[in-house]
Structure 1
C-alpha cells in the first residue's frame, strides 16, 4: 500500500507539472538536475573526479562533460554511489538466470544491455527510480489508451502478454518478472513470452493465455498480426521497445484464426527504452509526459550505420 501511495504521488506530481506549463517544467528539471549532479559529485568517486574542474552550484546540462558506456564500465566500482554494489558482485548475480526479476542485495533491479554496440552494460535501479518508472508508465499508457481501447482491455480481463527476448537479465524480462513477484494478481495478469521460440509455438502459447494487451518488438508483432499469420482477432496490441512506432489494436477476444477483425489502429511516437533509463526514449509526446524528470542533450558525432536520431523535445 505504501508503494502504491508513492506511485500515485508521482503520477499526481506529473499531472500538476504538466498543468503548470513549460516554465514550471523547466524549473523542476533544473532543480532535479542540480540535485543529481550534487549527489554524483558527493557520492561517486568517478564523477567527483570527472567534474573536478566544474564550478560549484548549478551547472547547465550543456556544460557537463559527457561520458561513454565503455568509460563507465571500466570504472564501475568508482561510478556507483553505493559501495556495496560492485561489478564483480553484479556479474555473478546476472550470470544466474534463475534470479531474473529478483533484487540484487534485496534492493536493486539490474538490467543488462544486449551489447549490440560491442559494449555490454550493467545498469542498477534503486527503489525510488522504480516507483518513477511505474508512475511514468501508467501515465503514458493512460495517454495511449483512449476510453474505447481501455474498455476493450477491461472487458477482456486485463491480461498482458510481453513478447521479448529472454534468457538473460534484459530490461523487459527483468521488469516483467519483477512485477509478477509483487502479487498473485500480477502473476495471473502478466506473462512473459520468449520471442526466440518458433512462431507456431508462440501463437499457441498466446492463444492459451488469451491476452487483452500485448507488448513486444514490432518485428515480432508484425509476424503475429501480419498477412498469412494466425492474427489476433481481438486484442489491444501495444508496439513498444526498440523500433520506430507504437500501435494499438482493439477488437474482440482471443488470438484464434478468423477473418480480419474490425480494429482501431493508432501510431504513437518512436520508443526505444534504454536499460539505463527506461522511460527516456519515448519521442516528443511521451517524453512530455515525464518531462519534469527527463532531460535531453544532443551529443554530436557519428551514429552507427542504419540508426536514426530520436527527436528531442
Structure 2
C-alpha cells in the first residue's frame, strides 16, 4: 500500500494537481491564507505527535500532548535547534526506515548522487552557515509539494506539454545539495536539464551553454553573475526567458549585471535545506514574499520575543508540508526583517524587508601564471562526510588552508574521508598541485570575537582578490 501511495505522490498527475492548488492560493485573501496556515499547522502537529517519538517526549516535557492540539498556540511550542534534531535524528523522523548512519553513508557515496534513498526519499544535506551538519529528508508527497511551490511561484513556469523547456543550473552539482536536488527534480516531461559545476573551469560551462541555449537559467547568484559578465564580454551568447538566483546573496550589483547582460530581471529565491521554497520575489514589484500558506515564519529577538516589523531578528521556521521530518519552530541561522508596508502586487503573502547572515567569503588562490582562482563558499557550506560534526576553513596563506574539524566516532577514518573530499574539490578546480591543506581536530570552534557569531570560512586577511571582480 505504501509503495502504491508513494508512487502516486511522486507522479506527474499529482504534481499537476498540487501545482494548480498552489497557483490558486495566490488569489486568496489574507484571512483565507491565515486559516489555511492554522489548519495545516494543526494537521502537522497531530501527525507529528502520532508518529515521532522524539516530539511526543519533547512536547510532553513541556506539558503538551495530542489532547492540546486544538487549543495550543505556535508560541507555546518549544524551540527546535539543528543540534537537538541531529542528536535525536532517528526518533525525530516519522518513518522507521530512516536512520542517520545509513543516510550519512548514502550521501557520502558518489554513486548515489542524483538518487533517492531507498528509491523514494529525497535527501538534502548541509552544514549551512552554522557549521553543524544537517540532514533533511523529504518523502514523495513532501517533495512534490515543494516542486509545485517553486515551479509556480519562483520559476513562474507556464506549462506547455507540446514543447520541453531547456533548464540550465549553475552551482555545486556533485552531491545531495538543495539547489541541484531541486533542479534534477524538474519534471522530465517539461524540462531538459543542463547541470553546470561552478567549481569547474568557466570556459567549459560557457561552451556547453552556447551549445545548449537554455530557455531558463538558474543557480547560485554569484554563478549567474559570472555568466552575466561573460555575456557582456561576448564570451557567452544565450537568451534565457527566465532567470532565478538562490543560495548566496543576490546583491544589487549582481542583479544589475544580470539585467544588463540578459535583458531581464532575475527572480531571487529564498531557499534553505530545511525548505527550498521559503520565499521569492513577485513579478510586479520585485519584493520578497514569504509563502506562509506552507510555512510559519517567526522573527524573534535573543529572548525569543517577536521583533517589531522592520527590525532584524532570528528566523524560526515551521515547515508545514514536510511530514517525514517535521521541523516545528526550528531555529535557523538567518537573520531577517519583515516589511509592514503593503507590496502593491496581487500576492496575499507578507514581504521580507531584508535578509542578513547568509554571506560567506570566497577563497582566492594564486595559480602558476599568477592569475587568481576561487573556491565558491557553498562548497564548504555543503561539505559533508560521515563522522564530521562541525568544521571551519581557515586560509593561513595564499595557497594553504587549515580545516578545523569536530569529529564523532573513528577519528582516523573520518580524517581520511575529509582529506579525500578536499582532494576531490581541489582536483575539480585544477588546484590540486597548487593548494595544500592541513586537518586539525578540535573540540569546539569559537565565534568571531568582532561579531560574536560563528564563521565557517576565514579568508586570508590580506586579500588581493576583492569580491568577485566587481560583482560582489
Q: Same fold (TM over 0.5)?
A: yes
Higher helix proportion (structure 1 or 2):
1
Contact persistence 1:163–1:193 (CA under 8 A): yes
Say whether the 8 Å CA contact 1:93–1:104 is kept in structure 2.
yes
Secondary structure of 1:297's partner?
A: strand
Alpha-carbon shift at residue 250 of structure 1 (Å)? 10
Q: Deviations over 1:266-287 (max 9, x none)?
A: 254x423111211114368664
Tell me if structure 1 keeps the 8 A contact 2:168–2:194.
yes
Query: Is 1:48 the counterpart of 2:56 in the alignment?
Result: yes
Question: Is structure 2 residue 121 aligned with structure 1 residue 113?
Answer: no
Q: Does 1:215 align with 2:218?
A: yes
TM-score (normalizing by structure 1): 0.80
Residue 113 (structure 1) shift: 0.9
Structure whose CA Rg is larger: 2
Residues 74/280 of structure 1: CA separation in 2 closer, same or farther (3 Å cut): same
The answer to whether the 8 Å contact 1:100/1:173 transfers is no
Give the one of 50, 64, 71 matched to 2:84.
Answer: 71
Aligned equivalents of 1:193, 1:142: Cα separation in 2: 18
Segment drifting more, 78-87 vs 56-65 = 56-65
CA distance, structure 2, for counterparts of residue 94 and residue 167 of structure 1: 11
Please point out which of 101, 109, 123 is paired with 1:88: 101
Greater strand proportion: 2
1:57 matches 2:69: yes
User: How far apart in 1 are the matches of 2:138 and 2:76?
Assistant: 26
In the other structure, the counterpart of 1:160 is 167
Tell me the equivalent position of 1:272: 270
SS in 2 for 1:101: coil
State the SS of the aligned residue for 2:123: strand
Task: Give the aligned length.
Answer: 290
After TM superposition, the structure 1 stretch with the greater mean CA deviation from structure 2, 291-300 or 60-69, is 291-300
Per the alignment, residue 31 of structure 1 pairs with 39
Distance 1:125 1:215, change over 3 A: same
2:444: which partner in 1? none
Gap change, CA 1:229 and 1:37, over 3 Å in 2: farther
Cα distance 1:43–1:34, how it changes in 2: closer, same or farther (>3 A)?
Answer: same
The TM-score with structure 2 as length reference comes to: 0.55
Check 1:177–1:14 CA distance in 2 against 1; reply closer, same or farther (3 A cut): closer
Q: How far apart are 1:116 and its partner, in Å? A: 3.4
* Deviations, residues 177-230 of structure 1 (Å, cap 9, x unaligned): 344xx65x56x7112110001111221121222212110111111111125362
Indicate yes or no: 2:21 matched with 1:21.
no
Tell me if the contact between 1:243 and 1:271 (Cα under 8 Å) persists in the aligned partners: no
Q: Which runs of 5+ in 1 are unaligned?
A: 252-259
- TM-aligned CA deviation for residue 245 of structure 1: 3.9
Change (3 A) 1:161 1:118: same
Specify whether residues 283 and 225 from structure 1 end up closer, same or farther in structure 2 by C-alpha distance, changes over 3 A only. Answer: closer
In 2, Cα distance between equivalents of 1:8 and 1:234: 28
Q: Distance in 1 between matches of 2:218 and 2:114?
A: 18
